[in-house]
């Protein structure tokens, strides 16, 4: 059985060859022109980054090395294959796919789960740092700070100081990346215990369990098979959404300065903490519960419409709707909705039913409102209500779960950045005066 490190080592020579080929055959070819609207509009639509793990299509959504979410659901080793209770794909399987482009065997995933469990315990100084935070500090700020502190033991930073060769950078980057993925659940669980008093705050990690089996145990939901299986699906499908989103792009940008994986991912988490990005899942639940408080548990389509208009007229965005790239409902939303349809206990849930009804009404309202380029639900529209129904009701914590996941996509690219020797990222900016001068405006 191959280890993940061996599997990554095998794919790198071919990737290097493909890149060299592309550089020599096509370096001068155009990928489109840069317009002033791109510069002023958040670089929307510009093809300006290399990102190997996934590609996002506006209409069909995300594919991971060419595989759609339903393909992954069929092909990737899941909880049932590994006899773990539950049936959803494992984030470990997705990590392997994103890093190597290949589907791992059950044995390879089992071995990876054991490796992650063996590396999952936090150094005591990081526990102390987390314990020193006030309960009122947002869980995402705590998360980013703790992840940054892990750079104390970075294999990459140490190897760089010793003068490691550039062609070998990827190896300690991968070592740090695996170590970080392994430790994220323990950090997240410690924060949950300190802020919300759930779980026991201890790092009881069992090497016979998968990453999420251990996480669920640490946050006090070990016996909740529905929630544990939901977390597997959630964390597998939130991992990667090509490179341009704020968190992935941040990891890549910071990593391009040869900051190690802990520093790069700490920065990514701070971007994920913004309400237009990962914090939207917290916002969705607060928004939906606010509606329940106002109109009761069985809101009619008419009452939902009115609540949506109240939100829009007050100048706020409807959280969980719209997307910078997608122009159809997010396939991740569809996957989470499928999970709800499979589970009788969720079909009885008033919050799950409310979120479903909102997805039937909101696109029409947003179209009529006329501003949003994409009136359909994104992943955040659905992700929180299931957590809430299963008892994980502290929605200020939800983006932390997204943060455990995004590492599975952002860190593989960092390994590839180092393996391919990609340069420091440094686009050109312009001032309004310089732009006007360049364009010949008065």
Provide the binding-site residues for ligand MLT, judged by CB under 6 A: 241, 245, 324-325, 378-379
- By C-beta, is 113 or 337 nearer to ligand NMX? 337
Partner in contact with 318, chosen from ligand MLT, ligand NMX, none, beta carbon below 5 to 8 Å by kind:
ligand NMX
CA distances from 80 to 67, 69, 109, 112, 332 (A): 20, 18, 13, 17, 21
CA 242 to chain centroid: 10
- By C-beta, is 190 or 323 nearer to ligand MLT? 323
CA distances from 117 to 110, 186, 209, 210, 359 (A): 11, 10, 8, 8, 38
Q: Minimal distance in Å, beta carbon 341 to ligand NMX?
A: 22
Question: Rounded distance, CA 54 to CA 16, Å?
Answer: 18
Nearest to ligand MLT by Cβ — which residue?
A: 245
Choose one: 222-230, 260-268, 277-285, 428-436; the region binding ligand NMX (CB under 6 A): 277-285
Active site residue 323: yes
Choose one: 85-93, 118-126, 207-215, 370-378; the region binding ligand NMX (CB under 6 A): 370-378
Considering only 101, 222, 255, 319, the residue that binds ligand NMX (CB under 6 A) is 319
CA 120 to chain centroid: 19
Considering only 1, 22, 36, 373, the residue that binds ligand NMX (CB under 6 A) is 373
Q: Minimal distance in Å, beta carbon 215 to ligand MLT?
A: 20
SS3 (DSSP) at 387: helix
Angle between helices 225-237 and 380-389 in degrees, nearest 10: 160
- By C-beta, is 22 or 373 nearer to ligand NMX? 373
Partner in contact with 408, chosen from ligand NMX, ligand MLT, none, beta carbon below 5 to 8 Å by kind:
none
Among candidate residues 179, 210, 260, 380, the one labeled active-site is 380
Active site residue 277: yes
Question: Rounded distance, CA 146 to CA 293, Å?
Answer: 36
Considering only 317, 420, 422, 435, the residue that binds ligand NMX (CB under 6 A) is 317
Identify which of 291, 311, 293 has the alpha carbon closest to the alpha carbon of residue 301: 291
Which helix (H) or strand (E) is 56 found in, with range? strand 54-57
Partner in contact with 319, chosen from ligand MLT, ligand NMX, none, beta carbon below 5 to 8 Å by kind:
ligand NMX
Binding of ligand NMX by 1 (CB under 6 A): no
Partner in contact with 36, chosen from ligand NMX, ligand MLT, none, beta carbon below 5 to 8 Å by kind:
none
Burial 205-231 (b: 16+ CB within 10 A, else e): beeebbbbbbbbbbbbbbebebbbbbb
CA 33 to chain centroid: 30
Partner in contact with 282, chosen from ligand NMX, ligand MLT, none, beta carbon below 5 to 8 Å by kind:
none
Among candidate residues 252, 277, 330, 417, the one labeled active-site is 277
Question: Rounded distance, CA 182 to CA 319, Å?
Answer: 31
Identify which of 380, 410, 377 has the alpha carbon closest to the alpha carbon of residue 398: 380
Binding of ligand NMX by 249 (CB under 6 A): no
Site of tokens 């430790």:
183
Residues in region 90-149 near ligand NMX by CB under 6 A: none
Identify which of 324, 178, 169 has the alpha carbon closest to the alpha carbon of residue 255: 169
Active site residue 28: no
Q: Minimal distance in Å, beta carbon 91 to ligand MLT?
A: 15
Among candidate residues 210, 323, 388, 417, the one labeled active-site is 323
Partner in contact with 280, chosen from ligand MLT, ligand NMX, none, beta carbon below 5 to 8 Å by kind:
ligand NMX
Kindly state the DSSP code that residue 394 receives in the 8-state scheme: -
- By C-beta, is 9 or 274 nearer to ligand MLT? 274
- By C-beta, is 83 or 370 nearer to ligand NMX? 370
Residues in region 322-351 near ligand NMX by CB under 6 A: 322-324
| Residues contacting 45, CB < 8 A, separation 6+ | 32, 38
Tokens representing 209 are: 């369990």
> What's the chain's length in residues?
442
Residues belonging to the active site: 277, 323, 380
Per CB under 6 A, residues contacting ligand NMX are 276-278, 280, 312, 317-324, 371-374, 378-380
């Amino acid at each position: 059985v191959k280890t993940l490190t061996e599997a990554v080592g095998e794919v790198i020579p071919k990737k290097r060859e493909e890149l060299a080929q592309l550089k020599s055959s096509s370096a001068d070819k155009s990928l489109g022109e840069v317009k002033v609207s791109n510069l002023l509009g958040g670089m929307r639509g510009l093809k300006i980054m290399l990102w190997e793990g996934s590609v996002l299509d506006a209409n069909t959504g995300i594919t991971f090395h060419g595989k759609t979410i339903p393909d992954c659901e069929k092909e990737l080793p899941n909880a049932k294959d590994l006899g773990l209770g539950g049936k959803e794909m494992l984030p470990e399987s997705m990590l392997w796919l994103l890093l190597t482009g290949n589907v791992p065997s059950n044995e390879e995933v089992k071995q990876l789960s054991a490796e992650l469990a063996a590396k999952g315990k936090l150094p005591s100084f990081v526990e102390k740092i987390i314990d020193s935070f006030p309960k009122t500090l947002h869980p995402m700020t705590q998360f980013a700070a703790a992840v940054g502190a892990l750079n104390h033991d970075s294999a990459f930073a140490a190897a760089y100081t010793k003068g490691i060769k550039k062609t070998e950078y990827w190896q300690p980057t991968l070592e740090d990346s695996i170590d970080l993925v392994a430790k994220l659940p323990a950090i997240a669980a410690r924060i949950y215990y300190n802020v919300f008093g759930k779980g026991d705050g201890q790092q009881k990690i069992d090497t016979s369990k998968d990453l999420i089996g251990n996480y669920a145990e640490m946050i006090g939901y070990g016996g909740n098979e529905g929630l544990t299986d939901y977390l597997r699906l959630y964390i597998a499908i939130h991992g990667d959404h090509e490179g341009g989103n704020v968190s992935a792009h941040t990891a890549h940008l910071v990593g391009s300065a040869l900051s190690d994986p802990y520093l790069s991912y700490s920065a990514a988490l701070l971007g994920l903490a913004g309400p237009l990005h990962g914090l939207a899942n917290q916002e969705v639940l607060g928004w939906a519960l606010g509606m329940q408080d106002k109109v009761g548990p069985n809101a009619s389509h008419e009452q939902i419409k009115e609540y949506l208009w109240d939100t829009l007229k007050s100048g706020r965005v409807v959280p969980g709707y719209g997307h910078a790239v997608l122009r159809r409902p997010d396939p991740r939303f569809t996957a989470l909705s499928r999970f709800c349809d499979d589970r009788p206990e969720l079909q009885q849930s008033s919050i799950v039913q409310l979120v479903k009804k909102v997805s039937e009404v909101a696109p029409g309202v947003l179209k009529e409102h006329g501003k949003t380029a994409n009136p359909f639900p994104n992943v955040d529209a659905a992700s929180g209500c299931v957590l809430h129904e299963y008892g994980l009701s502290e929605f200020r914590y939800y983006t932390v779960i997204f943060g455990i996941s995004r590492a599975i996509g952002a860190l593989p690219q960092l390994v590839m950045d180092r393996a391919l020797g990609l340069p420091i990222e440094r686009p050109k900016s312009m001032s309004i005066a310089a732009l006007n001068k360049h364009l010949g405006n008065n």
